[in-house]
Structure 1
Amino acid sequence: MKIKTKPSLLAASVILACTPAIAKITDSTFPLQNGDPLVAEQWHLKNIGQTGFSQSTGTSGNDLDIDFTHLMGIKGRGITVSVIDSGVEIDHPDLRANVVAGSLNLGDGSDYPQDNNGHGTSVAGLIAATEANGLGGRGVAPHANIVGFNYLPNQTVGNWLVSHGLSEDFRQLDRFTDPRVFNQSYGSTPATPVVHNYVLNPWQELQDDVYRYITEESHWGRGSVYVKSAGNSFGTYNAYYQGVPILVLPYENNQFFNNQGLPFHNANIAPDNNNHWNLVVSALDAHGKLTSYSSVGSNVFVAAPGGEFGEAAPAMVTIDLQGCEAGSNVAGEHGNALHGGSELDPNCDYTGTMNGTSSAAPNTSGAIANIMSANHALDARSIRHILAQTARKTDENHPGVDLTFENADGELVTYNAIPSWQRNAAGYNFHQYYGFGAVDVDDAVYKALFTPVTPLPEQVITPWQTQIADAEIPDASLTGATSTLAFEQDVTVEAVQVKLNIDHTRLRDLAIELISPSGTRSVLMSARTGWLGTTEGGYTDTLMLSNHFYGETAQGEWQLKVIDTDKGNSFTVGYNASIGLVGFNRNNNADNGVLKDWSLRVIGH
């Protein structure tokens, strides 16, 4: 099924001019209670150093910066957000006022998307829990509409199409209640590279077409935004080995869980995450730093509060399944003071332990609903543009990660495996952990409201351009293999995708960099990524995405560099109690790898 698209007629985007900063609202003007007893502990809305019912505090100011927006009454009215998840308890007393027609149980066909887990209900609460009703807390966009789908327990192609914006007869209808924001707090952690090939896997093409169609053509050309969680696999991930579930972890210098400070499972691996139609979000803790678990990569667009686990450190305070026998908040003692039936929540209808990039995504979806409700004329690209312009540099002194390793000659060398904050040639700050930075709702809404708007030029997706390299990748050497590609089209970058073919038997050794004609260096795949295997001996048509070059010119010479950072001293380990430890990538590659070829395409204007 090929869905044809046409240019948006209502595209509108703010200009690139700087916007004066709005005055900060003081604590005394912000109603913490506002009729909702748990709002005072929702640090993601207003962080004043509270605990979120955990055993430690956050750091004041590290929140969504939403005071001005809510005091102006901009709270998502008229915008519908689709929660594609485990389901949504749409009759929850703190949610049902914002539920509109359109939810679907993908198992039995009814209009009640039964949630037997609670995950989707908590996600919906972060987006649009009702405000000032004397119950619980409130959502980031407490006047937004909600529809829900229990897609995760009912994963079929047809159910994916319906939950991601098509009607049951596979048409998108331009009703005001159709979603303009799709929240996807789910993901995959492939243990081997994914082949990106429309011929071998036509599902990839169909999925891409649907994302594009809904993003560009729904809502009379204003389109919709797909928000995607980056993943929760910074340190470890789960996979299967010979049909047995295993915990996959790094092992280096005779230490388990030691990955030299590098992400163990890069967010750029999963096909949903390197699809440029998805706005990928990493997770921040209550101190404005990367959480202990959040996946990261050059494909991350922004970061938002996700929290830790709600016992030793704050998580999210949000809706839970009703009752003390369902969801995450159940009867009994717990390390989170809200749990177990507390005075503030005697019926266990709320939770203080929701976390993950599963939380960062709905916080971003709620933020987007507010921006859209501030200016309904803005199209989907305009929203992304505003987020890129207004994202706040968080954890601004993060130094990046230097990797020291023994090269093939036995010398210790150091490689800057994750750069610190960089400013690209178009003036955008970017960090592989945080994308353009932390979502700043007030600055984004101010720009949507008061900045003159002008349409962005029509979006261009260039054809793939392929460069044959046949360059040897020396083992354990900073020299690496380098290939250049001359790109002639005069395009302003919004995103760049690269497709790789590399022969190498230990992919965890490889770091892959892309350098733009302007000299901006983006790490597409960090070294020490914990692969369990390869495709045909390495990377085969493996897709990667970078947002790092946003606003730069694509014309000129692009450079791809592949560096082997290990001569067999680091390993990947799998563990299951029934089988014990299983080693992967135990032997160094006997032959040097080869960068065979690579392809590049630009999404821009």
Structure 2
Amino acid sequence: MIYKKNILAAAVLSATCAANANTAPTQELTKKDPLTFQQWHLQNTGQTGFSLSAGQVGEDLNLDFSDRMGIKGRGITVSVIDTGVEISHPDLVNNVVPGSKNLVDGSDFPTDNHGHGTAVAGLIAAEEGNGLGGRGVAPYANLVGFNFLDEQSVASWMVSHGLNEDFRALDRFTDPRVFNQSYGSTPSAPVDGTLANNPRFALEEQVMQDITLDSHWGRGAVYVKSAGNSFRNYNAYIQGTRFLVLPYENNQFFNNQGLPFHDANITSSNTTNWNLVVSALNADGKLSSYSSVGANVFLSAPGGEYGQDRPAMVTVDLTGCDKGSNVSGAHKNALHGGAELDPNCDYRGTMNGTSSAAPNASGAIATVMSANPALDARTVRHILASTARKTDLTHDGVSINFESATGEQVSYDAIPAWQTNAAGYNFHNFYGLGAFNIDDAVYKALFTGVSLPELQTTQWQLQEANVAIPDASLAGAQSTTVVEENLTIEAVQLKLNVDHERLRDIAVELTSPSGTRSVVLSARTGFLNGTDGGFTNTIMLSHHFYGEQSQGNWTIKVIDTDKGTSSTLIYNQNIGLFRTNTANNTVDGVLKDWSLRIYGH
């Protein structure tokens, strides 16, 4: 019955769409609430977002058609797993449904003492047309919230990520079909991927798999994950003391030759197939200055900059001028400090980070799901992938220059520019398969009546290598394995065992049978593991091969790109500045073995 109704609705909307195909988009969505006109991520007309500069017209989520058709997330519940949510906020309360939990005191009120989770909830589903603040991407969607970051036990993780208190999957119509995770960490050393040494991660992955595939009577759910905010630097705690960690090259601070200091593939929760990892775009449609990136990024979404010199996100804040981000006092963002449009400081114009990109993605997913609720989660992901748009079209990727071990100056294509893989999908390590394109995805969802074939996952396929990694040489260490299964690829996981004393030098490439080269780990990643480095069953993920066929020869290449001229700095204002990773590896590294696992159909 649901399917037939969707097809009927699709037929009606098709005629409407055709009639409006050549008309300019209306500006109505910017007029319904007092702050919506500055929410550039919804409709970018060159607003400032109350900052000091404007964005680029048209660089937004593209939801004008969906807005006119009233397709705005109705019937889809999104779980905000964060610092909590002020569920009584006047711009959220009418969209909150039963199911929130305070994981500290057990009540139904997930108290937010920070404001981060409340701002995230507002980006997803702040109410529309109530004369207050702005609106969410999916203003008709339902919300539940959890203060997981205040209580991060295994039990709290289970409840906030889709199980009830008896640890059984939920299937009520008001249970979440989208889980927003605007949190994460930047590890300062490679993660040991041996599941026997990390049973919690193995348990969490199994729960996400079950809920993704089997919850909601087989329709499943989508887990959205922020990529991270460590492109230029990150913070690490050493014996409880906070240090800034940053690259140093050619006698320049923060110089990483244009490469990300944090590759998002180093965070273990970003490497599971069940998390849809999102990088952040600014109001010009380019990578936000802070956004972590990598081959594991699925899509990119608006995250903004900092809301002072350049636009951030306009969203809800904790109520009152004495808490949250917007408090009394002067501020470079014109909305802050008790502005005329928001005298009670219930909103903010400074929300940013991949913490913002994730809820914008969650709102987009809820919108597409509401267009055709019968579609399963994998099919929704596929629709998003097949309708994503290229952004920052002229980005040339990143090439680095280094002196080889034999004294020659060489250039290495460290991150390729936009590539089209053998299946016709565009990919860039900064942007994944592209930027969210809500209208095209909604239109495609309306006319999609059949879900993807059942997911098939290959066993880990081990390939012994024991190949030396020559120092500072483009030759690298190579090894090839043959995959017999012929699946249409949805994702590829790589498990790696490498001995190498100076992992900052290492780049890891994987080439498919179709010839597509994916940089699974970029060079110059900022580790702090000293001189005893290596990868032990370290898992990485790539979406670069989306839609290609898996059968054939797969080749890995591990390249050492530096003979010790770059280094890593750690800084604390009270303790001082220290330099690490300065000495080059004394012996060549070794690619010991590697494994592949294919997800596809």
| TM-score bracket for this pair, using the shorter chain length | over 0.9
**Amino-acid identity (%):** 67
Task: Name the SS of the counterpart of 1:300 in structure 2.
Answer: coil
Q: Counterpart in 2 of 1:56? A: 53
Distance 1:484 1:253 in 2: 36
TM-score (norm 2): 0.96
Distance 1:193 1:409, change over 3 A: same
Q: Which has the higher helix share?
A: 2
- How far does the alpha carbon of each residue in 1:353-412 deviate from its partner, in whole angstroms, 9 at most, with x for none? 000000000001000101010001010100110010000100011000000011111111
Contact kept? 2:376, 2:451, Cα under 8 Å? no
Q: Counterpart in 2 of 1:512? A: 508
Distance 1:536 1:384 in 2: 40
Asked if 1:39 is matched to 2:36, the reply is yes
Distance 1:25 1:191, change over 3 A: farther
TM-score (norm 1): 0.95
Q: Counterpart in 2 of 1:429? A: 426
Q: Counterpart in 1 of 2:550? A: 554
Task: Name the SS of the counterpart of 1:180 in structure 2.
Answer: strand
The Cα of 1:43 is off from its aligned counterpart by: 0.2
Distance 1:535 1:587 in 2: 8
Asked if 1:149 is matched to 2:141, the reply is no
Distance 1:97 1:374 in 2: 21
The Cα of 1:537 is off from its aligned counterpart by: 3.3
The Cα of 1:200 is off from its aligned counterpart by: 1.9
Q: Counterpart in 2 of 1:349? A: 346
Asked if 1:261 is matched to 2:258, the reply is yes
Q: Counterpart in 2 of 1:413? A: 410
Amino acid at match of 2:367: N
Asked if 1:453 is matched to 2:449, the reply is yes
Q: Counterpart in 2 of 1:500? A: 496
Distance 2:62 2:22 in 1: 10
Distance 1:163 1:565 in 2: 42
Contact kept? 2:531, 2:581, Cα under 8 Å? no
Choose which of 71, 74, 80 in structure 2 pairs with 1:83.
80
Distance 1:25 1:247 in 2: 52
The Cα of 1:85 is off from its aligned counterpart by: 0.2
Task: Name the SS of the counterpart of 2:216 in structure 1.
Answer: coil
Distance 1:293 1:566 in 2: 25
Q: Counterpart in 2 of 1:206? A: 203
Distance 1:80 1:383 in 2: 15
Aligned alpha-carbon RMSD (Å): 1.7
Choose which of 74, 80, 86 in structure 1 pairs with 2:71.
74
Distance 1:110 1:545 in 2: 38
Alignment size in residue pairs = 589
Choose which of 105, 110, 122 in structure 2 pairs with 1:108.
105
Asked if 1:586 is matched to 2:582, the reply is yes
Distance 1:553 1:534 in 2: 40
Contact kept? 2:91, 2:316, Cα under 8 Å? yes
Asked if 1:397 is matched to 2:394, the reply is yes
Contact kept? 2:263, 2:521, Cα under 8 Å? yes
Choose which of 199, 218, 222 in structure 2 pairs with 1:221.
218
Q: Counterpart in 1 of 2:190? A: 193
Contact kept? 1:25, 1:68, Cα under 8 Å? no
Contact kept? 1:233, 1:265, Cα under 8 Å? yes
- Greater shift in the superposed pair: 389-398 or 19-28: 19-28
Distance 1:172 1:470 in 2: 44
The Cα of 1:27 is off from its aligned counterpart by: 5.6
Distance 2:191 2:383 in 1: 32
- Greater shift in the superposed pair: 525-534 or 349-358: 525-534
- How far does the alpha carbon of each residue in 1:458-489 deviate from its partner, in whole angstroms, 9 at most, with x for none? 10110000111100000001110000011111
Q: Point out where structure 1 has 5 or more consecutive residues left out of the alignment.
A: 1-11, 13-18
Choose which of 463, 467, 474 in structure 2 pairs with 1:471.
467
Amino acid at match of 1:169: D
Contact kept? 2:531, 2:585, Cα under 8 Å? no
Contact kept? 2:503, 2:533, Cα under 8 Å? no
Distance 1:441 1:410, change over 3 A: same
Q: How does 1:157-176 map to 2 (within 5 A)?
A: 157-176=154-173
Amino acid at match of 1:464: W
The Cα of 1:61 is off from its aligned counterpart by: 0.3
The Cα of 1:535 is off from its aligned counterpart by: 10
The Cα of 1:318 is off from its aligned counterpart by: 0.3
Task: Name the SS of the counterpart of 1:438 in structure 2.
Answer: coil
The Cα of 1:236 is off from its aligned counterpart by: 0.3
Q: Counterpart in 1 of 2:304? A: 307
Q: Counterpart in 1 of 2:573? A: 577
Contact kept? 2:530, 2:581, Cα under 8 Å? no
Distance 1:567 1:28, change over 3 A: closer
Distance 1:472 1:372, change over 3 A: same
Amino acid at match of 2:203: L
The Cα of 1:324 is off from its aligned counterpart by: 0.3
Q: Counterpart in 1 of 2:9? A: none
Distance 1:327 1:339 in 2: 11
- How far does the alpha carbon of each residue in 1:16-64 deviate from its partner, in whole angstroms, 9 at most, with x for none? xxx9997668566231443300000000000000100000000000000
Q: Counterpart in 1 of 2:243? A: 246
Task: Name the SS of the counterpart of 1:100 in structure 2.
Answer: coil
Distance 1:222 1:135, change over 3 A: same
Distance 1:348 1:26, change over 3 A: farther
Distance 2:598 2:22 in 1: 40
Q: Counterpart in 1 of 2:593? A: 597
- Greater shift in the superposed pair: 212-221 or 531-540: 531-540
Distance 1:26 1:59, change over 3 A: farther
